[in-house]
């Protein structure tokens, strides 16, 4: 089961006690379904429990029970087939068949909690959220431009800043910041999912830090090995050219050790030399040997 599905499963377990909030949530479910007009009211979901929740909410508020059909793909398609029932729902939420375009009717909200309940209904109808293990992304897919703009204004009232784009003639309202996704999930009442999201994010951040540390250490190791191999090759040339015989005993010793241990770090070279010279001293001598090999 996807993370988005688990969030919706949590939301449909919500027990609203306020009638006005139930009304607002039903409004969000209906208004942001696939179709909402006097000609068609429909909603499609993979989750049978969400389909039942939609029907129960609409019936509880308007007295109209939508019909559920299972598509060939196994999805639940909810429709209000009767024109009379569609008009009853449409007018119940303060809309008119004469309306030119859809917009949010604010008369359906009686308190601040109504706006949260409304957003919960909207998410159940057209929202999805990615598993935080994979990426941070929450979006609403809205069919109508005026509805999309109105939804953005409501979300902004909660001090959140959604982004907007178009996809396949739909209006996409989305978030990419993990903190904003956590805030929105909390607002719509998905507290357990929010905690799961936050814990997963922390675990992901820790793993990323460990990976970065390991990658950094591996890169350092490879640089050390590459430098050692290059130095060993240079020192072999010193021996072949006869310049090795002109070196001091200290440089000869380091030259031989580096040729025998091309992958050793400066610390390991110190140990081999019995810690008689510091890493800085070894680094200086290695550079001197390399410079001599180039002359």
Given CA atoms 171, 177, 179, 185 in this order, what sign does their dihedral have?
Answer: positive
Higher pLDDT, 79 or 269: 79
Domain that holds residue 123: 3-189
With 0.75 as the threshold, say if the pTM is over it: no
pLDDT at 99 > cutoff 80: no
| Per-residue pLDDT reduced to its tens digit, 18-27 | 899 999 999 9
84-91: Cβ within 8 A, 24+ apart: 86/37, 86/38, 86/39, 86/40, 86/41, 87/38, 88/62, 88/63, 88/64, 89/30, 89/41, 89/58, 89/62, 89/64, 90/36, 90/37, 90/38, 90/41
Q: In this predicted structure, what is the pLDDT of residue 46? A: 87
223 token code pair: 């640089």
CATH number, domain with residue 112? 3.10.28.10
Number of residues assigned to the chain: 295
Angle at which helices 48-62 and 19-31 pack, to 10 degrees? 120
Distance between CA atoms of 126 and 112, rounded to whole angstroms? 22
pLDDT at 176 > cutoff 90: yes
Q: What letter would DSSP give residue 229?
A: H
The verdict on 158 and 276 lying in the same domain is no
The verdict on 181 and 137 lying in the same domain is yes
The verdict on 100 and 59 lying in the same domain is yes
The verdict on 181 and 73 lying in the same domain is yes
């Amino acid at each position: 089961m996807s993370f988005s599905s688990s969030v919706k499963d949590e939301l449909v377990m919500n027990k609203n006690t306020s009638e006005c909030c139930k009304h607002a949530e039903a409004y969000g479910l209906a208004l942001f379904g696939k179709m909402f007009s006097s000609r068609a009211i429909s909603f499609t979901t993979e989750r049978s429990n969400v389909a039942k929740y939609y029907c129960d909410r609409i019936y509880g508020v308007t007295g109209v029970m939508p019909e559920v059909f299972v598509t060939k793909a196994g999805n639940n398609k909810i429709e209000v087939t009767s024109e009379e029932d569609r008009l009853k729902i449409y007018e119940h939420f303060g809309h008119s068949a004469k309306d030119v375009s859809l917009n949010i009717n604010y008369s359906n909200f009686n308190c601040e909690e109504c706006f949260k309940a409304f957003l919960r209904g909207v998410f159940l109808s057209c929202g999805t959220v990615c598993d935080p293990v994979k990426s941070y992304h929450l979006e609403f897919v809205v069919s109508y431009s005026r509805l999309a703009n109105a939804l953005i204004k409501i979300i902004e009232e909660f001090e959140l800043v959604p982004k907007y784009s178009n996809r396949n003639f739909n209006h996409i309202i989305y978030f990419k910041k993990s903190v904003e996704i956590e805030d929105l999930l909390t607002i719509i009442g998905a507290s357990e999912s929010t905690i799961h999201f936050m814990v997963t994010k922390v675990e992901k951040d820790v793993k990323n830090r460990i990976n970065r540390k390991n990658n950094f250490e591996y890169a350092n190791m490879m640089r050390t090995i590459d430098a050692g191999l290059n130095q060993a090759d240079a020192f072999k040339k010193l021996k072949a050219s006869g310049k090795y015989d002109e070196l001091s005993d200290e440089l000869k010793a380091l030259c031989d050790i580096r040729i025998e241990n091309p992958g050793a770090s400066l610390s390991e070279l110190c140990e081999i030399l019995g810690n008689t010279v510091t890493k800085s001293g070894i680094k200086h001598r290695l550079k001197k040997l390399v410079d001599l090999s180039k002359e």
